[in-house]
Each structure stands twice: as structure tokens, then as C-alpha cells.
Chains A and B, each alone.
Chain A
Amino acid sequence: MNRFTFTSAHTIDEALHENIPGNGTRFIAGGTNLIDLMRADVERPDHLIDIRHLDLQTITDTEDGGLRLGALVKNADTAYDEKVQSRYPLLAKAILAGASPQLRNMATNGGNLLQRTRCYYFYDTATPCNKRVPGQGCSAVGGYNRMHAILGASDHCIATHPSDMCVALAALEARVVVMGKESKRVIPFSEFHRLPGDQPHIDSALLPGELITHIELPANGFSSHYQYIKLRDRRSYAFALVSVAVALTLEDNAVKDVRIALGGVAHKPWRNTEAENILKGKAAEELNFRNAADIILQEAKGYTYNTFKIELARRAIVRALAEARDLQAPEPLNCYTYNRHHQL
């Protein structure tokens, strides 16, 4: 851990103006990711701005019938929010699939979007990593890459984005509202996270110094037919090997609208609109689900230890679509019902 200075911001303006762009300054929210990275000497900020007290702590309705999630609302409070549970159960379920109750009580919505990869080599400064130090090389390509990407990776980096919440947000086509010193921007979720390409050290479209203020959810929450399936090495407190968020609308047993987002397989939550479009209008049946899964995974590429993810993802997509289709009135979610009834 390095030496750093620390201030607490009370207004958004203060937070933005304290910020010296570049590597020197970081916002700190729940700290559940940033502090770990600082301890591992991966993040070495000179200055921390505590944003926990900013007025971004509520969940409110938007004018167009959607929901606006404050960036500093805790993951747990978001998942248990009545509006989220009734209108966006997919989001609630994805959040509850992540981390542990203690972590969700600390972690914020903004921080969740910006959490960094869990690639072992990224966390271990004794090993080369392009994401940590551009140009060093990637240790995962020839190393233990069981948790790594099968889609959209590059030779420079095969890391995955570890978030569960973001997979649901990708399926729901959320928007990320960010503030810079000068202006506010609204970034569509599909453009928020990026693929590694030859600049794996950049995770997202957020510019240095910008602050996430809100996440906006469009009106359609797909609350009748949805599913979030998370496959992992233990039943809680592990990152996804593969996860699938499905949002579905049916009409006469046919797919009217569908979104399929994958987690644990790429540098960002993975969508393939081509596959989704092909599925639209088709009967909501396994054969068509399988076809969609095949299209999504057409370009998938495995490495020494993660080739299994391709077949696992295929089966998980089919399962998630079928379960979304068959969904009966769901019960309210909490971590107990989640572990009892929603685990595989």
C-alpha cells in the first residue's frame, strides 16, 4: 500500500473539483474493491475522495416510467427495494447472486459497475499483466485461465468483468448517468464497459475525473419472464464461471422480445443482438433456444483451462430461457429464499 491523502466530499461539485484527472485520484465508495487493490499494491492512488456522503442515495421513479438508482445506494438496498423487486426482479436476483451479504451491505451501485477483474495475475504484482502495467504482457494467456474470457478477448488481455449486477443491467438496457467537471453524459449500458483490444488497462467509457451519479432503468422491467442463472464453484461468495440474464416477453407461446446477457465470459457483459433478433417471433422452444445459444457462442474461443465455459454457457442459456418462459409468480427475494430456491 502506498501513501495517500484523503478528503471527504459533501457535494457533487466538491467531488468533481477535488479530482485531479489521471491516476492520482480515486473516488472511494464502499471501498470493497478499491481497498483490496490498494493493499495488493495494484492501485496506488495519491489521493482518495470519499463520496459516501453525496446525495446519490435514493431510488426514484423517472418521467418515462423507469427507475433511477442513485450511484451510492448499497447493492443490498437496491436488491431489497420494493420497486426493484416488483418491477425489476431480474436485477434484484442478479445482485443477490453476487458476493456475500456483508459485501453487498457495503458495496455501492456505482462501485459495482467499476469493480475490476478478478484475474489472479492482475492481483499479483509479481506477475506481468497488461491491465495493471500496459506493455508488460499477459500472464493469463499461458497460465491458469479457468476464470477467463471466451468471447471478445484479445491477445493483450483475456480478463472478464466480474459483476453480476451488470449482467442484468445489460439485459435491461440501463443507462449510466455520469458527471464531469463541465457536463453530464448519459452512456448506454452496452457502451459503458469496453473490450480489451490493445488497451486492456481501460475498463470503461468513463473518462478520468467523471463521477457516476445514477443508473437509469427503462420502463420495461420484464418482470413476468426473466431469469438469472449463475454457475460457480461454490454456492455463494464466488464469481461466476458463467452467468446468464434473460429477459423475455411472450405472445402466444412465441418470443416477442428477448434479451440475453452473459457474465463471466468476456471483458464486459456480453450481448449478441443478432441472436436475439433471430429468436424473436420464433416459438419459445428448446430447439430455438439452442440455436440462439449456438449463434452467441459461434465465435467463442477457449484457452487451456476454460474451454468448458463454451459448452457450459450454451447449456446455461438454454436453461435460463426455458426457466424464464416457465416462470410462475415468483416469491419475494432475499438471501435466504435465494439460497433455498434459486440455487442450482
Chain B
Amino acid sequence: MTVSMTDTWTNYIGKPVNRVDGVAKVTGTARYTAEYNVQGLLYGMVISSPIARGKIISIDTSLALAVQGVKKIYSHENVKDMPWFDISYKDMNLLPGSPYRPFYSNEIQFSQQPIALVIAESLELARYASTLVRIQYEEDVFETSLEKNIDKAFTPKKGKAGFQKPKSRGRADRALKKADVKVEADYYHGAEHHNPMEMFVSMAIYEPDGSLTIYDKTQGVLNSQSYVARVFDIKHRKVRVLSPYVGGAFGSGLRPQYQLFMAVLAALDLQQPVRVSLTRQQMFSFGHRPITWQRLELGASREGMLQAIRHSAISETSRFENYTENIVNWSGRLYMCDHVKLDYQLVQLDVNSPLDMRAPGAATGLLALECAMDELAYTLGIDPLELRMRNYTERDPEKDRAFSSKNLMDCYKQGAEHFGWEKRSYNARSMRNGKHLIGWGMASGIWDAMMMPARAEAIITDDGKLTVSSATSDIGTGTYTIMTQIAAETLGIPLEDVTFALGDSKFVFAPYEGGSATAASVGTAVWNVCHKLKDELFSLAKDIEDSPVKKYSIDDVVFANGKIACKDNLEQFLFIADVMQRTHTKSIKKKSADLAALIKQMGYSRNTHSAVFAEVKVDEDLGMISVTRVVSAIAAGNIINPKTARSQIMGAVLWGISMALHEESFLDHQFGRFINHDYAEYHIPVHADTPEIEVIFVKEDDPVVNPLGIKGIGEIGIIGVAAAVANAIHHATGKRVREFPITPDKLL
């Protein structure tokens, strides 16, 4: 007899378990970085540059310092002895170039660059004093327009961590010339800033022994820890970084932001606790999704078989770092096509370096590719979904190897079925409801299923309680919950007995939470460490006198329902807590092993896929657009928790809609400055804009990626959404708008 799923109530993987931190979050007991208070806390206010490029001539702090309660004002004038070398400022995101160093010199490299830091006894005082600091600048000529500087585009020699040089194949130029049918189109989208609800903030507490305890808003406590250790030349073990809850980050927390530097600088100098928080306006002072221009050329046979793909992209970057992302690469990987030419270039401008934002590169590249595919479908007179199916590829055509798993076909099929795609009438402007034109559009998505080295540590105590920890983060994604599920199921103990701890640099290594890799990487480590506990518990169990498992091997028992039971006779069991008590084992502690499985993955391409279907209605006269329905079908391996996963996809879909219709940080070239820098004017969808979103996870078993078959779902949900919406708008109105966001004026 074997144990079936149904009678094992400690099977949590794949179940819609409520967030384990949900109650803490809705009752306010989950404390975010800015909510920690300590005695004698000082507050910092950052002064930002009003100019985009130039030099600081003088800083007059006398008026500000005269205000009672103002402690000190930092700027390049009094911050000395900081390291010279770029290497000291490098973080895990590893951009080629020379990282921005706060207060390093009088040089201004971008608008809103931090110029000075005012430290005072209250936030209000710091804020007031910051208005009293008189700064004189010498302005230089600056360039912030991608369009005007497109002739300065160059191919970056080196990329940042994770950048893959685009690989062309075949002879696309010739194939394009010979193709039966061609489409060629240029696409453009503006800059976007992450704008998580929680603003960036760090609090540095100077301990009597000279060590630092830091609360930081970050996606990686170890990244912040090593940055602080290197920049301030302190031993790693004397820097502890905590970030138990993060109010959204979307990539903006992948690099230590400047408030961390500043809080530490002041805390070390004043030997007092200091908190530095940014304002909403200052949230527009750092990285962003780069403004990108793209050209797509597709050649196909009359039957709709792709004969050539040419995809070029030009993005902005700063003058001091080459921020690179994988924009064009996907065009060589999504469809079967022998001739692909890819080109990716950068233009350096007087702006801050761009920064990874949810599905960096893919959100951009597939916007263009999937709009162009729709244009091709309409040039050929083929249904857009049918066109994609005809060009389906079972193998990765770029690397010419198998996918570890790929079930995009079921995404197409199930997505179409749930959406009712077959009822669509092909012609543009052929569906309407009164004064509203109705349009249906679709697009595909692809993203990497990554694994990064990560570890977990676990302790089980003789009351049967398990604590697992790892220096990973939960940026709202549900890390706490799914790790708890994995641990509980692997050891077969109740969820309530498991605590997962994260966001502390004291814990064992985990990379920052990015690239949709956390569930797979940390999840595997948790699984692994729990197996090690299992082994140990099992050998203890065998030691017990009269043990029912004495003659069994570990493969012949099951850990479930809080017990170790014999598979062939479930009535024969031991409670896990009893095993420990009866062997006088107070606790067992294990660390996960580095995984050999990584080798096995090498031979395969590992990706997640999606198909997204959108319905829009457009007021024919007034151009008002609303998205009324979205179906998103996702193939992303094993879904640990369909509830938190669905939330991830819904949020991502909404962001895709935002990219299509609303979102842009407008860069004013008179000042080289993002000008709509608040929530009132930086538009993202509100509830009234939120359509019905149906999320489907198609079945995808993947034994290659990792033992649990996890691929990660943090980013795939946004990819293709903007294209699906744009394609729906074309279907509704007959208009191709290739400049994003598609605001109503573009439809008049």
C-alpha cells in the first residue's frame, strides 16, 4: 500500500495556502524598514541636484546649521577618505563602468543626483533645513534625448551580470529580400520608474562595539552588507543588514541605493542611529526601465512561415555605466526561423543608469516582436494565434538544443478557449458595442527559468517545530509562504510548526531576489536541507528500541502527517517529535548542500512561456481606451502555491496594461529631468482601470530544472501583455500605434 495524496494532509505543495505573513501584514504587526524606531534616532534629508550636468561651485550650509536640532550636513566638501576604486562600490548587479559614488566630487552627472545630506533630530527639521542650504552650480551642456543622439549609438563590449550577447544566425538580410511577405515597423517606449509603494529607506544603528545594524529596503541583504563592508572598509561580520518585509521593489532594490550609503556614513561619523528616507520625488532619481527604440523586420512565406527576423534595439544608458539588458535575444528563441539578425546598441546620456525593472529586456523586446507578429498576421491575412502556432518550435532554435520543458502550446490552446478566441471576427473594426469599438488581441511571452546558488539552514527541535532560514527576501511575492510549504511538506509536518526566516544577513547565503529565481533557487535549498533532516531523523528513528522502521530503508518510509510511517503499512509509524524525544535529541541543525543538479541543466534551455489574450473597448470618437478582459496562460513548471502565484500574475498583467496605456516618466530635455515625478502625474492603473483577469497555469512537468520542477513566475506575467493590448487596439480601431504608452490622443 502506498500513501495517496488525499490522506496526507501535510502535502502543501501546489495548494492555495494563505500567506503565512498575511495576518501580520493586514494587522500592521509586520514592520517595514521605516517603522523601526530606536532611542536617539537622527533623521536625514537628501538634497537633490536641480541640474543635469555641471559642477557644484559652493555649498553654503550656515543658515541650515544655525537651526537648532540640525546636527550635520554632508556633501563632497566634507566627506573625505572614501575609497577611490570602482570595485569598492560594485554590487551584485555588476554593471560595467564606474558606479555612482555619493559625495565623491563636485561633479554632477544627472538631474536629481544627491548633493548633500542634512541630519537633524527630526524629519521635519531635516526637511526644513534642507531648504536653507544654498548651493551654486556651474551648468554644463547636457544631452538627454535618445532621439537626437541616436547617431552616437554603440555596441557595448561588456554587459552586466546576466547579459547575453545577442546571437544572429543564418543570412537574415538576404532571406528578408527574398521573403514573400515583409513587415517592418519601429517601436518606441518611454522611461518607467519602479515606484514601489514603499519608498527607499535605510536605518543604520551604530553599536557600542563599532559594528552596524542596518535596516534597509532591499531585494538582497547580502548585497547591501557587502556594499557597506567594502565602501566603508568594515569587516563583513560587523555589518548586519535586516530587511524582513519589503513593500514592493520590482528590481529597484537590486542595487544598494544611495540612502544606504548615507545612513551608514552619518551613523559611523556621529556614532548615533540614523535613518535616511527618500521622498516620492526622489524615487525618480535612480534607475528606470530605459527609453528604447526598436525596429522589427519580419519576412515570411505566404503560408506564414517565418523566413527572416531582424530585430534592432537602441536604449539609453548613463555616461558612467553601460546598463545592458536582453531585449532582442528573445526574437531568436521564440519561433522557428533559420535567419535571424539581432542588434543591440546603447546611447550614453546625462541620466542616471537604468536599472532592472520586472522582466528587464523581455518586457521591452517582446513588446516589439509580438506587435510585429500581429502586423505580419494582418499582412498575410492569417489569424494571429494561428500564425504563432505555425511557427511553434519544440527546440530552442538559438542554442539548437531541447527545452527542459515547454508547454506554450497548451498556453495558446487553453488561453484561447477560456478567452473565446474562436468567436473573434478577423477584420479590424469589425466588433462593436454601441459607440465602443471592441478589439481582441493576443501575444506570447518567454522568460528564463533561472537557478542561482542559494543555501538554507534548518533546525528542528524536540517539540517538532522547524525553523528554516536563508538570507533571501520577500518583496511581496510570497517567499515566506512557499518556503514554509516546501519545508512542511518535505518533512511531513504541519505548516503551523514551520517558521521560515529571511531578510537577515546573518543567515546562510542567498542571492538577491531577482530574475524570478528565488522560488527555484531557495526553494531547492529548503527542499535539500529538509531532506538532510529527514535522513538524520530517520537514522535516529531506526535507533529506537522496537522501532517500526528498523528494517526499512528511507525509500520505504513516508514523512507525512507529522509521522514517519512505513509505506507498506501506514499503521506502523513514529511521531517525528517522539523520535527526537526518545533519542534525547534536543535539536538537529543542517545546512543545505550545493546542488549537483546544476550540471544536469546545462544541456537544456530553461524557459517559462505565456500566452496572453486581451479585450479592449475604445470610444470611437473620444479615443478613451479601457481593457475589459485579460486571460493569461502561463507555463512555468510546478506552481508551489496557485494563490500567491495568481497574485503575481495579476499584478504583472496590470503592469503590462500600464506599459501599454499609462506609464511614462517624461524626460524634459530643457532640464534633463523627469518631470512628472509624483503619483498624481506618473500614471499607473487604478482599480477603475482593472479588468477581469483570468490566470491559467498549464501543466508542465520539468524534472530537469530542479527536483521540485520550479521555474519561477515573478516576471513572465508582464511579458507580452502590452503587445496583446496594442494588438487589441489595432483590432478595435484599425490603428497601429507604435509609440508607448498609447494615450487617448494617439487614437484621435
Contact = CB atoms under 8 A, between A and B. Distances in A.
A284 interface: no
Interface string A102-140: 000000000000000010110111110000000000010
Overall SS of chain A's interface:
loop
B623 interface: yes
Nearest to A44: B131
B690 to A, nearest CB: 9
A19 to B, nearest CB: 23
B433 interface: no
B744 A312 contact: yes
Interface string B109-138: 001000000000000100110010000000
A220 B356 CA distance: 57
A142 interface: yes
B467 interface: no
Nearest to B658: A234
Contacts of B681: 118, 120
A228 to B, nearest CB: 14
A256 to B, nearest CB: 26
A126 B673 contact: yes
Given A41-B131, A241-B745, A339-B688, A316 B678 contact: no
B671 A344 contact: no
Contacts of A241: 744-745
Contact of A139 (B662, B670, B686, B689): B670
B624 interface: yes
Contact of B127 (A1, A127, A237, A344): A1
B666 interface: yes
Contacts of A123: 678
Given A231-B624, A312-B745, A344-B622, A144 B666 contact: yes
A143 B111 CA distance: 16
A124 to B, nearest CB: 7
Given A311-B748, A344-B619, A235 B626 contact: yes
Overall SS of chain B's interface:
loop
Range class of the B interface residue count:
35 or more
Contact of B687 (A2, A236, A319, A343): A236
Contacts of A118: 680-681
Contacts of A40: 281
B345 interface: no
Given A238-B683, A241-B745, A2 B128 contact: yes
B128 A3 contact: yes
A126 B670 contact: no
B685 interface: yes
B99 interface: no
A235 B622 contact: no
B668 interface: yes
A181 interface: no
Given A312-B622, A312-B745, A315-B621, A235 B688 contact: yes
The 7 residue pairs across chains A and B that have the minimum distance between CB atoms: A126-B50, A308-B745, A235-B688, A236-B688, A344-B624, A120-B675, A315-B621
Interface of B: 50-51, 111, 124, 127-128, 131, 279, 281, 619, 621-624, 626, 661-662, 666, 668, 670-671, 673, 675-678, 680-681, 683, 685-689, 743-745, 748
6 contacts: A3-B128, A233-B661, A235-B686, A236-B689, A311-B748, A312-B744
Given A143-B670, A233-B683, A318-B621, 7 more contacts: A2-B128, A127-B673, A143-B675, A233-B744, A238-B683, A241-B744, A315-B621
